[in-house]
Amino acid sequence: MFWIWVVEGVCWPLGRRMALWSLWSLLLWEASSAQVHGQVGGSVLLVAERPAGFQVREAIWRSLWPSEELLATFFRGTPETLYRSRFLGRAQLHSNLSLELQPLESGDSGNFSLLLVDTGGRSRTQVLQLKVYDVVPRPVVQVFIAVPGEAQPPKTCQVFLSCWAPNISDITYSWRREGTIDFGMEPSDLFTDGQVLRVSLGPGDKSTTYSCIVSNPVSWDLATVTPWESCHHEPQEIPPTKMCCWWWCPSPCS
């Protein structure tokens, strides 16, 4: 079957039509793309949006970036997904023309488009941006005791809580003091994008616990510590280069 696309009186062959459509989709991506989040090892549904009264005759799902590939088609009531793309064997086209991808891999992030053509020859293009995230692991919290200074009140202990999630990117760090209504921390006590928290403790904080929460758009985990327990040990002086690197020195740690 030979297809043509008529635009302002000009007949375009199918190959030229597909090229123009791909270029137009890329130009529209910044303005009209919808974001979809997925988790490594899970599944994601790229939902097809059909206008009311739009009777679909043909549908084409494609990957636009990082490589342009044909993923699934629907012609005359017959779905097809056995195209040699990186999603071969992992793509399922549902009856409502939504495309399910599973199991997701870290390299699956990218831009996808759906071209719908109705029985009257009208077309509609939908573009989606998929971002696949790793599962957030449980963070590790370390407690550093600051060496008491002359200005520090007696029977108090100043600590720095350092939180780190191994082998992960695109995560957010936050802290909360358990047992209080207000979980927020003062911005002046947070360093390194929230990874380090400065806390001043007194005798009334012996059982106070702090939790570090690491999260991304699809998962989260936390670790809890009782910092007063570390105040009974010998003070662990933080190396000057390490303290400097944490919050104000421009040079890297040595």
List, for residues 27-64, the tens digit of each pLDDT value: 443 335 689 999 999 999 999 998 888 899 999 999 99
User: Where is pLDDT greater, at 17 or 111?
Assistant: 111
Range in 47-61, 180-194, 222-236 the model is least confident about = 180-194
* pLDDT at residue 180 in the model: 63
* pLDDT at residue 240 in the model: 42
Do residues 127 and 186 both lie within one domain?
Answer: no
Identify whether 82 is part of a domain. Answer: yes
Identify whether 28 is part of a domain. Answer: no
What CATH number has the domain bearing residue 103? 2.60.40.10
Do residues 221 and 153 both lie within one domain?
Answer: yes
Question: Count of domains in the chain?
Answer: 2
Do residues 51 and 80 both lie within one domain?
Answer: yes
Do residues 241 and 150 both lie within one domain?
Answer: yes
pTM for the full predicted model: 0.70
Do residues 164 and 114 both lie within one domain?
Answer: no
pLDDT at 245 over 50: no
Identify whether 25 is part of a domain. Answer: no
What value does the mean pLDDT take over residues 184-193?
78
Identify whether 180 is part of a domain. Answer: yes
Do residues 107 and 201 both lie within one domain?
Answer: no
pLDDT digit string, tens, across residues 95-128: 999 999 999 998 999 999 999 999 989 999 999 9
Percentage of the residues of the chain whose pLDDT score is greater than 90: 53
* pLDDT at residue 9 in the model: 34
What value does the mean pLDDT take over residues 206-234?
89
pLDDT at 142 over 50: yes
CA count, 13 A, side-chain hemisphere, 247: 14
54 Cβ partners below 8 Å, 6+ apart? 116, 118, 122, 124
Report the side by side order of strands in the sheet with 190-191.
140-145, 157-164, 196-201, 190-191
* pLDDT at residue 248 in the model: 35
Do residues 82 and 124 both lie within one domain?
Answer: yes
Distance CA(191)–CA(193), nearest Å, equals: 6
Do residues 89 and 159 both lie within one domain?
Answer: no
Per-residue pLDDT band for 169 (boundaries 50, 70, 90) equals confident
* pLDDT at residue 146 in the model: 80
Do residues 113 and 148 both lie within one domain?
Answer: no
Per-residue pLDDT band for 171 (boundaries 50, 70, 90) equals very high
| Domain end residue (candidates: 133, 154, 178) | 133
* pLDDT at residue 148 in the model: 66
Identify whether 3 is part of a domain. Answer: no
| Domain end residue (candidates: 133, 158, 184) | 133
Do residues 194 and 233 both lie within one domain?
Answer: yes
Mean pLDDT over all residues of the chain? Answer: 79
pLDDT at 147 over 70: yes
- Cβ distance 46 to 99 under 8 Å? yes
User: Where is pLDDT greater, at 205 or 126?
Assistant: 126
| Domain end residue (candidates: 85, 105, 133) | 133
Do residues 78 and 117 both lie within one domain?
Answer: yes
Range in 22-31, 41-50, 182-191 the model is least confident about = 22-31
Q: Count CB atoms within 10 A of the CB of residue 167.
A: 6
What is the span of the domain harbouring residue 236?
140-246
Per-residue pLDDT band for 205 (boundaries 50, 70, 90) equals confident
